[in-house]
Amino acid sequence: MDETDRALLAALQADATQPYAALAREVGLSAGAAHDRVRKLRERGVIRRTTVDVDPAAVGRGVLAFVMLQADAWMGDPATHDALAAVPEIQEAHIIAGPASVLVKIRAATPEHLQAVLRRLFDIDGVTGTQTIVVLETFFERPVDVTGPPAAP
């Protein structure tokens, strides 16, 4: 991936609906070349999907919580994946190291709705406990920084 690809990615993250001609002007390519590069980024899996950023509160999902799931067994198997994916309120699920096995991001309508989701998590095989953090306010959320090479470890 070169600097032009990175510039394309940054421009698409800012506005993925812009026409290829506008995108091309922004990065100094022809529209055809920009289209070809974007297609290749999709084929390589660099661009995973194109989506719309919806305000959760505007659609009745204003309660945000991060929940750590404790377990009595390894949770990185397909059964756990499928069980978590079946809960529509879960936006993200991650196998983690530390005091818990899984971290999930949940969007709910109300605290009572969140409580119902937590009850469903306890029905998943292996889950022995949860630790829930309810977000009061989000300062900001960022897309992945694609403007330069990753920082050295």
* pLDDT lower than 50: segments of the chain: none
Domain 3-43, what architecture?
A: Orthogonal Bundle (1.10)
pLDDT at 12: 94
Other Cβ atoms closer than 10 A to 139: 4
Q: What is the pLDDT of residue 150?
A: 67
- Domain spans of the chain? 3-43, 56-135
CATH class in words for 56-135: alpha beta
Q: What is the pLDDT of residue 151?
A: 60
Q: Please state whether the predicted TM-score (pTM) of the whole model is above 0.85.
A: no
Report the half-sphere exposure of 134 (CA within 13 A, side-chain side): 13
Are 3-43 and 56-135 in the same CATH fold? no
Tally Cβ neighbours within 10 Å of residue 7. 18
